[in-house]
Structure 1
Amino acid sequence: MASKESEAVRRHWAKSRAAAEQDTREGDQELDDHRWAELTTEPSDVDYLSVDGREALWINPHNAATDRVLLCLHGGGYVGGSRYSHRKLFAHLAKAVGSRALVFDYPMAPAHTHPAQLDHAVDTYRWLLNQGLAPEHIVFAGDSVGGGMAITTQLRARSIGLPLPAGALPFSPAVDFEATGASYDGNRDRDAFFHRDLVRGLAYLFLGPDGSPRDPFVNPLYGDLTGLGPIYIQVGGDEVLLDDANMLAEAAEKAGVDVRLDVFPEMQHTFQMAAGRAPEADDAIQRMARWARPVLGL
């Protein structure tokens, strides 16, 4: 049974859905970053440092390894989210792993359509490499659309000759913008926020009139995952995006990638945002940390 503390995530998404429906009527597509960030407690013994010339934050847990980095890609449907909405979430993860993390902003839709977001993510990864970080000491981590970008950024980086990172931690990944998964029907009455029309609407804003949801740099299920480092996927059992995670895990396994998938029963989309508050979120963070440490060589 889901904990009482985890119900805060369900309430958050229910309120967000009501607000999104109101915003749609009024033509405003932005998500409320501040309400999102309230789900996560402030972790102790973590410092934040702005990055000169970049819309990014270094997350520095005390006594963390300085030569290992989580490159963090925030969610928000490409219309919301920021380094500020997600800094505490990724700080909990970085602290548990014992590494630094970098969380950054990327251009938002509809003002900026694909591939602006992906290009910015690749540029940030290139910048990180230019700081002297070894690719085998970097793991990509991302939630929702950031989880999808944790894979597509690798595909785009490889296509221009950049080395691949050590691995990826996508949680509640959004990859199928055609919304074809059976879980859209099976979890329709369980997911407090997402539904098929909403996802397709976000896809239109993100892709614009000329973009394709089958572009492999949009949906990695159409890409070549061969040669990618290990992937650990987490997803909530009550999400309509459950099959996005299932399909990504299946595609990675078929490509010969070392992949692990954990489904958390009764959990909502990005339930890890309740880190420090809900036991399920803390358990998920600790599982990611145990997986990431050996991948990073810690």
Structure 2
Amino acid sequence: MDSENISLKAKIMRQLINMATSDHLIGPGIKKGTFRRRMVEPPWKCPAGYSVLDIKMKNFNMEILTPPEVNSECIVLQLHGGGYIGKMRNVYRSFAKYYSDMRSGMKVLTIDYRVAPENPYPAALNDALTAYGWLLGLGYKGHNIILAGDSAGGGLALALSEYLRDNSIELPAALVLMSPWTDLTASGSSYETNYELDPLFGNTRESMIYNGEYIGDNEPDNPYISPLFGEFNALPPMLFQAGSIEMLLSDSVDAAQKAKEAGCDVQLSIYDGMFHVFQMALDILPESQQAWQEVKEFVENIEEKD
């Protein structure tokens, strides 16, 4: 599958994204992220047989999705995307449903961590760490926790793993990273090579990937902000997925390369012609279906330990 032979549905969706982001009314808001901040969504309906438990923490909220049958000791800790400026959306509840059906049924904890500009770094990392510690407090072992995240959430999952290792806290079993934002310095090669190709962030220097509100007064190459610049030794197995035309492609490619050089078990999949977090199409696109099947196989190959 190359960029000229992607599915018809993917071509149509890519064109629709191009049209929406080029619109003079809402296009700039989509690219800058301001549209996400005031997005209004219809209520999400929990699927029949599943249950959701809302949990209020001191600084943020969490929710656990439980499938009809739980047959795995593992649990997924999901960290949502949104450029560190967007709150959790209903699509992540759909993601949670997908994760919960893996391994013959497992629970999924999704956190609505604090975001900028009101809460710059290290708020998101602190909230992710609090959620991870909460799971350990419930009796989960690190080797039964799967960290999953897309975009900023993927970068946050990787940053959290580096923090856990650096502070001698037991590491998770694996990382699922969809188009992770690992380089907030925007120094990767694809920020230039895909500048005119990326339908979500391209053709402007004002898109949310150049937004410094989360960084605040800190250095953007701080490894807990941009985990690409951290050490990758002793990190758990990780799956990277990225689209070939997204500006954040090098965030995955470069991080995966560093992880391999550090001796990590790494799987990198680049989907030709695909855009940033195309997995949000769920079962609409064949490419998204393929990506989710790959996630399923990766997750189900994780060795379950007592």
1:72 alignment partner in structure 2: 78
Residue 13 of structure 2 corresponds to residue 4 of structure 1: no
- Between the aligned partners of 1:153 and 1:239, the Cα distance in structure 2 is 24
Matched-pair contact (CA < 8 Å) for 2:73–2:304 = no
- Between the aligned partners of 2:99 and 2:21, the Cα distance in structure 1 is 24
Q: What TM-score do you get using the length of structure 1 for normalisation?
A: 0.88
Deviations 1:150-174 (A, max 9, x none): 1101112233332101110111011
- Between the aligned partners of 2:174 and 2:303, the Cα distance in structure 1 is 8
- Between the aligned partners of 2:119 and 2:36, the Cα distance in structure 1 is 13
2:95 alignment partner in structure 1: 89
| Two-structure CA RMSD over aligned residues (Å) | 2.8
Deviation at 1:93, TM superposition (A): 2.6
The change in CA–CA distance for 1:91 and 1:56 in structure 2 (over 3 A counts) is same
Residue 61 of structure 2 corresponds to residue 55 of structure 1: yes
Residue 235 of structure 2 corresponds to residue 228 of structure 1: yes
Aligned residue type for 1:50 = D
Aligned pairs, how many? 293
- Between the aligned partners of 2:209 and 2:247, the Cα distance in structure 1 is 13
Q: SS at the partner of 1:119?
A: helix
Matched-pair contact (CA < 8 Å) for 1:89–1:272 = no
Deviation at 1:81, TM superposition (A): 3.4
The change in CA–CA distance for 1:68 and 1:212 in structure 2 (over 3 A counts) is same
Aligned residue type for 1:70 = V
1:248 alignment partner in structure 2: 255
Q: SS at the partner of 2:241?
A: strand
Deviation at 1:296, TM superposition (A): 4.7
Aligned residue type for 2:110 = V
- Between the aligned partners of 1:81 and 1:111, the Cα distance in structure 2 is 12
Deviation at 1:190, TM superposition (A): 2.0
Residue 170 of structure 2 corresponds to residue 148 of structure 1: no
- Between the aligned partners of 1:13 and 1:164, the Cα distance in structure 2 is 40
- Between the aligned partners of 2:160 and 2:21, the Cα distance in structure 1 is 28
Aligned residue type for 2:214 = F
Select between 57-66 and 178-187 the one with higher mean Cα deviation. Answer: 57-66
Matched-pair contact (CA < 8 Å) for 2:29–2:35 = no
Residue 221 of structure 2 corresponds to residue 217 of structure 1: no
1:216-295 equivalent positions in 2, closer than 5 A: 216-295=223-302
- Between the aligned partners of 1:239 and 1:41, the Cα distance in structure 2 is 31
Deviation at 1:224, TM superposition (A): 1.4
Deviation at 1:17, TM superposition (A): 6.7
Match of 2:201 among 189, 194, 200: 194
Matched-pair contact (CA < 8 Å) for 1:238–1:268 = yes
Residue 225 of structure 2 corresponds to residue 206 of structure 1: no
Q: What TM-score do you get using the length of structure 2 for normalisation?
A: 0.86
Runs of 4+ in 1 over 6 A off after TM superposition: 40-44
Which segments of 5 or more consecutive residues in structure 1 lack a partner in the other structure?
A: none
1:84-163 equivalent positions in 2, closer than 5 A: 84-97=90-103, 98-163=105-170
- Between the aligned partners of 1:126 and 1:14, the Cα distance in structure 2 is 43
Aligned residue type for 1:148 = G
| Larger helix percent | 1
- Between the aligned partners of 1:23 and 1:289, the Cα distance in structure 2 is 30
Which structure carries more relative contact order (alpha carbon 8 Å, separation 6+)?
A: 1
Aligned residue type for 1:5 = K
Deviations 1:17-64 (A, max 9, x none): 753624899x957445556x99x9986754322225461111222223
Select between 287-296 and 111-120 the one with higher mean Cα deviation. Answer: 287-296
Deviations 1:178-204 (A, max 9, x none): 1112212222222111137225532x1
The change in CA–CA distance for 1:128 and 1:12 in structure 2 (over 3 A counts) is farther
